[in-house]
């Protein structure tokens, strides 16, 4: 009886896909907190957050800015 790492990986991937926006919001809040505690390091904090968001977005199938749908013609 061991850990099924494939199942664990699949669950983590599904969670990243499903809750991408919430995770990014949490990263933004964490960045704001870190900036308030470590003044003068804003660019490093922002860089780390952007890298984390880039990693998370690799698992997201939907575009951040979806294209508007064209209305059906002839109606």
Angle formed at CA 33 by CA 48 and CA 57, multiple of 5 degrees:
35
The model's pTM is 0.67
pLDDT at 58 (0 to 100): 86
The Cα–Cα gap between 41 and 33 comes to 12
pLDDT at 23 (0 to 100): 93
User: Over the stretch 5-38, which tens digit does the pLDDT of each residue have?
Assistant: 999 999 999 988 899 999 999 999 999 999 999 9
| 29 alpha carbon, distance to own chain's centre | 13
User: Over the stretch 38-70, which tens digit does the pLDDT of each residue have?
Assistant: 999 999 999 999 999 999 988 876 655 555 556
Domain locations along the chain: 5-57
Structure-token pair, residue 9: 């990986």
The Cα–Cα gap between 19 and 63 comes to 14
């Amino acid at each position: 009886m061991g850990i099924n790492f494939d199942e664990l990986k699949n669950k983590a991937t599904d969670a990243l896909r499903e809750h991408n926006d919430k995770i990014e919001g949490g990263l933004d809040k964490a960045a704001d907190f870190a900036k308030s505690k470590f003044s003068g390091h804003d660019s490093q904090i922002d860089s780390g957050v952007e890298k984390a968001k880039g990693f998370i977005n690799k698992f997201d199938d939907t575009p951040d800015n979806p294209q508007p749908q064209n209305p059906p013609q002839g109606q």
